[in-house]
Amino acid sequence: MRKLLFMLMCIFISIPTIANAHTELSSSNPKEGEMVTEELDEIVLDFAGAIEELSTMKLMKDGEEVSLSQVQVQDKKMFGTPSAPLENGSYIIDWTIAGEDGHPISGKVSFSVQIEGMHEEKEAAQPKAANQENEQQDKGEVEKENQTSSNPVTTIITVLLFVILGLSLVLLFRKKRK
């Protein structure tokens, strides 16, 4: 009975550390919500731990993918090079990585580009209020997705912990009754 109790305690203590072993985004260039005012030559995502070569990113503008000429992974960083200069507007970096533990993790980073003198005719045709509304919607969606990206894993692990703990207590009390 003591062995069973000891094993349960070890499992209970070790599972939260396993769940938190996932690599997460520690910084990015451009940063979340940043307004880029100069030409962006390279996108850099820096993660807390090493990431696998399978990791990738997409650059999205208005729901359409913007071409990246190169996506490269080096240790804890992922680099993306835009094929052409970015137009003014709102962008989302949609990234997916495979961390050291092999689990896929994804997230988004939103930013906007506002370079004076670039594509003035295009911007004059679009009402500013519509642009601001779209930016606010994009930011709200990104914040929701970033908040929920790791919640399912944590929820599943928590539920499993309680099921294991409950079953262990049932087995423990059954043995005491006999």
Tens digit of pLDDT for each residue in 57-107? 999 999 999 999 999 999 899 999 999 999 999 999 999 998 776 778 999
Lowest-pLDDT choice from 86-90, 106-110, 122-126: 122-126
Task: Give me 10's structure tokens.
Answer: 């070890």
Full DSSP string of 94-153: EEEEEBTT--EEEEEEEEEE--TTSSHHHHHHS-HHHHHHHHHHHHHHHHHHHHHSSHHH
